[in-house]
C-alpha cells in the first residue's frame, strides 16, 4: 500500500484494488483564517482527483472543501459514506454532483472490490458538525487507520479490525479557546498550556490503544497568515500554544516510549506493508523540513504569496447593512421554540455584540431574540458586523463551522464552558436542531409518551428524534413525521418508509374517556 500525504488530514491511498482520496483540502477555511500547513497548493490535483473512491470524514471545512471537490475531483468516484444519522454530508456531496454512494455501517467491516473497509461514525452533537468519523482500510498488504480528528468511542471495534501497520491521527488544537476570550494574559497561557497538554495526551492514549507499528501526525495544525492572527502560530515550541506542529508531537511520542513516529508533509509517499515502511519525499528531506526548521520565515513567505487572495476574501463578505435584529429574530425564534433541552441547558440570555452599534440578546429561557436592554448575560460574543451579515446572507446553519473556528470574534463568560450554547449555534436548521434535542433526550432516558389524535405514541420520532408532538400527523392509522416524511403503521409500530432498518414506533390506542360511548 502507498499513501501520499496531500496536506492536513488529506490522504491519497493507492492499493491493488483501487485508490481512495480522503479529506482533500486546499482552499482557505473559516472566513479565510485557516490555511493548509505546510502549503499543498503545488500538488498534482488532476491525478489525485481521479481516485476510485472519495472519503470525507465530516463537514468541517478543513476536511470538506466544496470548491476543490467541484473543480478537481471526478464525479465517477464512489463516495465511502459514514452512516451518520443526519444526511447533511450526503446532501452536500450530492449537491456537488456525486451520485455513487457506498454507505459503511458503523463498526462493521465490509468488503468492497478487494478491499476490507470499516468506518466508525460519531454522532453526538459535540462531534464535528453533528458527526465525525474514522476509516480503517485493509488491502491485504497493509492495514491502516485514518482517524483524522475523530475521537472514537468504540475502541474494541477498531482494534478488532487490526492489527494496524499505520495510524494517522490529530494531536493539535482546532478550537478558539482560550485565545478569543477576554482573560488576563497569564490565565490564557495557563489554559493554553493545559489545552495543549490534554490534546497530546489524548492522542497518545489513542496511539497506545490502537498499537500501530507506525504513527503519522495528521489533521493539523492549520496556519494563520493574517497579521491579526499570525501570533497563533507555534513558532518557538511555546508550551502554552494550542497549535503544536507535527515535529512537536513526534518528540512527545518519543518521550513517552512510542517508536515508529513518522513525519509526512504534502507530496510525501509512505510505502507500508506488514513488515516495512518507507517514506519518499517529493524533493529532499531537508527541503521538506523547512516549514519546521525555519517556520517564521516559511510562514511570512506563505503570507506574501497569499496576500491578494486573503484581501479578496475580506472584500467578499456581505456588508449590506442588513437589519440584523429582524433577520436573527425571524431565523432563531422558530428554532428556540423547538429547543427544550438546549434552552434549559443554556439557562439564560446570550449577548451578541454585533459591530459597534448592534447588541442583540438571544433569551433562551424566554425563547426570544431582541435588542439588548442592559440585562446580565453570562455568555457574550463580540462579532464584526460583516461576518454576521455574511452568515445571514449565506444562511450558514453551523456557526461553529464558520464563525467560531475563524477566531475572528471575542468572547467572555461567567462560569464554565457550556456545551449547549455551541450546540445551538451548530444546529441553526430545524432538522439539525431536532436531532440534537432528541440526542439529549435519549441521554436523559426520555421515555415520554404523548397523545395525538386518539393514539398514545412516543414523543420522539425513531428516525432522527424529531418531536412528534409538533411534527406528527395522523391520517387513519398512519403517522407521518413531517420533518423528514417517515411514516409508521400505528397498530403495529412498523416503519413504512424505505431503508427503515429497526426504526419502530411505540404506539397504542388511547383509552376512551370515562363515560364515553
pLDDT score at 517: 45
SS3 state at 384: coil
- H or E segment at 390? helix 385-393
Asked if residue 24 lies in contact with residue 57, where contact means CB atoms within 8 angstroms, the answer is: no
pLDDT score at 212: 97
Asked if residue 342 lies in contact with residue 423, where contact means CB atoms within 8 angstroms, the answer is: yes
- Quote the distance between the C-alpha of residue 135 and its chain's center: 15
Residues of the chain within CATH 2.102.10.10 domain(s) are 447-509
Cell representation of residue 10: 488529506
- For the domain spanning 2-309, the CATH number is 3.60.15.10
Q: What is the C-alpha separation between 506 and 175, in angstroms, rounded? A: 40
pLDDT score at 174: 80
Asked if residue 47 lies in contact with residue 21, where contact means CB atoms within 8 angstroms, the answer is: no
Asked if residue 132 lies in contact with residue 122, where contact means CB atoms within 8 angstroms, the answer is: yes
The beta-strand segments (E) located in 221-286 are 269-272, 277-280
Asked if residue 441 lies in contact with residue 124, where contact means CB atoms within 8 angstroms, the answer is: no
Bridge partners of residue 277, in order along the sequence: 272
> Tell me, what DSSP letter sits at residue 181?
B
pLDDT score at 502: 59
If one counts every other C-beta atom within 10 angstroms of the C-beta of residue 451, the result is 11
Q: Which residue numbers in the chain have pLDDT < 50? A: 500, 516-517
Residues of the chain within CATH 3.60.15.10 domain(s) are 2-309
Q: Which CATH code, of 3.30.70.980, 3.30.70.920, 3.30.1050.10, 3.20.190.10, is assigned to 324-435? A: 3.30.1050.10
If one counts every other C-beta atom within 10 angstroms of the C-beta of residue 227, the result is 9
Task: Count each helix (H run) and each strand (E run) in the chain, helices first.
Answer: 16, 25
Q: What is the C-alpha separation between 352 and 372, in angstroms, rounded? A: 9
Q: What is the C-alpha separation between 411 and 407, in angstroms, rounded? A: 10
Asked if residue 4 lies in contact with residue 12, where contact means CB atoms within 8 angstroms, the answer is: yes
CA–CA distances in Å: residue 476 to residues 468, 482, 490, 491, 506:
16, 16, 9, 11, 17
pLDDT score at 513: 52
pLDDT score at 430: 92
pLDDT score at 121: 94
Respond yes or no on whether the N-terminal peptide bond of residue 337 is cis (omega within 30° of 0).
no
Q: What is the C-alpha separation between 297 and 233, in angstroms, rounded? A: 12
Residues of the chain within CATH 3.30.1050.10 domain(s) are 324-435
**For 468-510, what is each residue's pLDDT tens digit?**
887 789 999 999 987 667 899 999 999 887 554 557 899 999 9
The beta-strand segments (E) located in 337-395 are 349-354, 358-363, 368-371, 379-383
pLDDT score at 444: 61
Q: Which CATH code, of 2.102.10.10, 3.40.50.300, 2.30.30.100, 3.30.70.1340, is assigned to 447-509? A: 2.102.10.10
The structure's pTM equals 0.86
Cell representation of residue 371: 435588542
Asked if residue 277 lies in contact with residue 213, where contact means CB atoms within 8 angstroms, the answer is: yes
Q: Which residues fall within 8 angstroms of residue 445, CB to CB, at 6 or more apart?
A: none
Amino acid at each position: 500500500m502507498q499513501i501520499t500525504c496531500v496536506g492536513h488530514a488529506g490522504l491519497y491511498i493507492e492499493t491493488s484494488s483501487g485508490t481512495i482520496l480522503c479529506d482533500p483540502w486546499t482552499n482557505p477555511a473559516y472566513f479565510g483564517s485557516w490555511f493548509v500547513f505546510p502549503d499543498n497548493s503545488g500538488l498534482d490535483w488532476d491525478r489525485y482527483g481521479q481516485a476510485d473512491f472519495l472519503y470525507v470524514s465530516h463537514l468541517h471545512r478543513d476536511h470538506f472543501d466544496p470548491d476543490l471537490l467541484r473543480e478537481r475531483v471526478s464525479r465517477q468516484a464512489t463516495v465511502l459514506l459514514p452512516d451518520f444519522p443526519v444526511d447533511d454530508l450526503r446532501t452536500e456531496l450530492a449537491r456537488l454532483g456525486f451520485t455513487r454512494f457506498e454507505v459503511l455501517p458503523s463498526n462493521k467491516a465490509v468488503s468492497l472490490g478487494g478491499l476490507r473497509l470499516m468506518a466508525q461514525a460519531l454522532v453526538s452533537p459535540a462531534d464535528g458538525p453533528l458527526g465525525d468519523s474514522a476509516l480503517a482500510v485493509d488491502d491485504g498488504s497493509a492495514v491502516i487507520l485514518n482517524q483524522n480528528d475523530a475521537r472514537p468511542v468504540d475502541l474494541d471495534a477498531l482494534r478488532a479490525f487490526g492489527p494496524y501497520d499505520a495510524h494517522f491521527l490529530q494531536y493539535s488544537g482546532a478550537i478558539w479557546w482560550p485565545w478569543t476570550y477576554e482573560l488576563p494574559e497569564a490565565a490564557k497561557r495557563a489554559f493554553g498550556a493545559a489545552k495543549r497538554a490534554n490534546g497530546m495526551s489524548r492522542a497518545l492514549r489513542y496511539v497506545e490503544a490502537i498499537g500501530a507499528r507506525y504513527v503519522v501526525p495528521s489533521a493539523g495544525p492549520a496556519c494563520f497568515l493574517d497579521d491579526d492572527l499570525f501570533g497563533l502560530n507555534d513558532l518557538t515550541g511555546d508550551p502554552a500554544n494550542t497549535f503544536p506542529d507535527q515535529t512537536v508531537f513526534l518528540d512527545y511520542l518519543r518521550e513517552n516510549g512510542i517508536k515508529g513516529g513518522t513525519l509526512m508533509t504534502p507530496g510525501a509517499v509512505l510505502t507500508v506493508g506488514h513488515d516495512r515502511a518507507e517514506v519518499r519525499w517529493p524533493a529532499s528531506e531537508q527541503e521538506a523540513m523547512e516549514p519546521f526548521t525555519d517556520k517564521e520565515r516559511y510562514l511570512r513567505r506563505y503570507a506574501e504569496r497569499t496576500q491578494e487572495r486573503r484581501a479578496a476574501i475580506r472584500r467578499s463578505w456581505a456588508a449590506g447593512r442588513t437589519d440584523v435584529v429582524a433577520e436573527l429574530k425571524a431565523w432563531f425564534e422558530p428554532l428556540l421554540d423547538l429547543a427544550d433541552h438546549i434552552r434549559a441547558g443554556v439557562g439564560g440570555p446570550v449577548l451578541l455584540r454585533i459591530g459597534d452599534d448592534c447588541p442583540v440578546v438571544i433569551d433562551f429561557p424566554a425563547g426570544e431574540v431582541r435588542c439588548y436592554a442592559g440585562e446580565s448575560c453570562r455568555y457574550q460574543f463580540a462579532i464584526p458586523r460583516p461576518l454576521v451579515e455574511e452568515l445571514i446572507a449565506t444562511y450558514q446553519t453551523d456557526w461553529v463551522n464558520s464563525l467560531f473556528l475563524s477566531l475572528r470574534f471575542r468572547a467572555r463568560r461567567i462560569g464554565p464552558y457550556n456545551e449547549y450554547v455551541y450546540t445551538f449555534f451548530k444546529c441553526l436548521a430545524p432538522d439539525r436542531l431536532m436531532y440534537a434535542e432528541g440526542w439529549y433526550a435519549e441521554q436523559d432516558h426520555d421515555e415520554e409518551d404523548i397523545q395525538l389524535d386518539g393514539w398514545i405514541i412516543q414523543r420522539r420520532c425513531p428516525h432522527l428524534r424529531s418531536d412528534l408532538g409538533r411534527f406528527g400527523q395522523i391520517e387513519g392509522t398512519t403517522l407521518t413525521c413531517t420533518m423528514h416524511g417517515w411514516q409508521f403503521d400505528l397498530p403495529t409500530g412498523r416503519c413504512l418508509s424505505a431503508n427503515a432498518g429497526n426504526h419502530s414506533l411505540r404506539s397504542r390506542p388511547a383509552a376512551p374517556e370515562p363515560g364515553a360511548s
